[in-house]
Amino acid sequence: MKPALIINGAAGRMGKRIVALACESGQFNIVGATDYPQHPDMGKDIGLLAGIEPINVPLTAAFPDSAAVMIDFSLPQAADAAIDYCAKNGVSLVMGTTGLSEAQLTKLKNASCKIAIVQATNMSLGMNLLFATVGKVAKALGENYDIEIVEAHHRFKKDAPSGTALSLAEAVCQETGRDYPGSLTHGRQGKETSRQKGTIGMHAIRGGDIVGEHRVIYSTLGETVTISHSAHTRDTFVRGALGAAEWVASQNPGLYDMQDVLRLTDRGSDV
């Protein structure tokens, strides 16, 4: 039986592609497509909004009575309602919204005692391999290599630095014993901005329709090593999110990430 799927933030750029590719895959039964109440497309068929045939599911502000799993790519201010609904109704959750507050992250953790949740700042296979790699590279190269992280996104992205860039920095800190987020330096300006040993530089670029680019630069006197990832299309993230939704629907309650979905860890277990 196909999992019943809710897409929160369905009228956004990511939401529309989730609708289109979920229908294309044939692996889900879309039972809800939600967005903020004042959205100008309220009531319209989400299939048409996504550029495909009608699927008889209107864009609404209210969640349906029941579902198996929700994918949330909305905004931080909409995340609380999504978490509360899923926890109350036993709906598994894929949380792809970034920029969540510490209170919201705590709410996610508490909700994971009741439901299975995949929370990830980036859903792509390639980027999750970077998450598993960048810290090990930093540890192997040692403290004489300065580390800078540069990310670039489209002009409409609201949070900076990106959640992905922060996850990369956190991975480096965990492997090398640096303080997170205390060791981060966000941009540089002024006449006295020489690098401080052990810090990680964070730099955000916003322009045009850049989908997502991330670079981790390790540089010392004499050489530079760079690990980078470029997303060519949002479909990369959408396919990852759909894979996460299919996976999490059969998991025990807990807080998981894409490393679990991709079986880079052994925490996940089928119910």
Residues 6+ apart with CB under 8 A from 45: 54, 55, 56, 57, 58, 59
Q: Give the whole-angstrom CA distance, residue 31 versus residue 263.
A: 28
**pLDDT computed for residue 262 by the predictor:** 87
**pLDDT computed for residue 134 by the predictor:** 97
Residue ranges in the chain modelled with pLDDT below 50: 269-271
For this structure, is 44 an active site residue?
Answer: no
This prediction has a pTM of 0.82
The residues of the chain that CATH labels 3.40.50.720 are 4-119+234-261
Could you give the 3-state DSSP secondary structure of residue 224?
A: strand
**pLDDT computed for residue 39 by the predictor:** 97
Q: pLDDT tens digit string along 131-146?
A: 999 999 999 999 999 9
Q: Give the whole-angstrom CA distance, residue 94 versus residue 74.
A: 12
Q: pLDDT tens digit string along 237-266?
A: 999 999 999 999 999 999 999 989 988 766
What sign does the dihedral 244-11-155-82 (CA atoms) show? negative
**pLDDT computed for residue 270 by the predictor:** 44
**pLDDT computed for residue 267 by the predictor:** 57
**pLDDT computed for residue 210 by the predictor:** 96
Q: How crowded is the C-beta side of 165, counted as CA atoms within 13 Å?
A: 27
Please state the CATH superfamily assignment of the domain spanning residues 4-119+234-261 in this structure. Answer: NAD(P)-binding Rossmann-like Domain (3.40.50.720)
Mean pLDDT of the chain: 95
The residues of the chain that CATH labels 3.30.360.10 are 125-231
Residues 6+ apart with CB under 8 A from 26: 2
Catalytic residue among 153, 203, 214, 229: 153
For this structure, is 203 an active site residue?
Answer: no
Catalytic residue among 88, 114, 157, 186: 157
- From 47, 50, 42, select the one nearest 14 (Cα to Cα): 50
**pLDDT computed for residue 271 by the predictor:** 39
Instruction: Please state which CATH class domain 125-231 belongs to.
Output: alpha beta
